[in-house]
Amino acid sequence: MAHSRRPAPPPLEANDRRVTVVGTAAWAVALAVLLVLHGRIPASDRWWIWTCAVGVAMGLFALWYVPYFKRARARKAQRRAGIQAAAAVQPGPGSSDSKTVSSTETPGTSTRS
């Protein structure tokens, strides 16, 4: 008996800034709690303080980097679309403007001149 599968739902886009702010705030709260309880934490478990500090630092870095990364990706996509549009306007490989010879047209010869 064949079961038909439902099509996959489209991917969800999250608000990257909100997710990063919430995560960074959670690390900051944990850091504050651990700093308040510093005297009660055994020396062998104080590495958690550094873990929270690094979590806050990485969150702050992500607040700067994620928008930068998205802008760079958008610029690259625009450039790629422009190149593809320009390539679509230019004549194809079989036109008389081309100075190269395809190796499939003349087997056994190089395309270098």
pLDDT in tens, 93-113: 555 555 565 555 555 555 555
Whether pTM > 0.75 for this model: the answer is no
Q: Which two tokens stand for residue 61?
A: 């870095």
Task: Locate 3 and state its tokens.
Answer: 């079961």
pLDDT, tens digit (0-9, with 9 covering 90-100), for 16-32:
999 999 999 999 999 99
Checking if the pLDDT of 40 tops 80, the result is: yes
Q: Which DSSP string do the residues of 12-79 spell out, in sequence order?
A: PPP-HHHHHHHHHHHHHHHHHHHHHTGGGS-GGGTHHHHHHHHHHHHHHHHHHHHHHHHHHHHHHHHH
- What is the enclosing helix (H) or strand (E) of 83? helix 47-89
How far, in Å, CA of 59 to CA of 3, rounded? 45
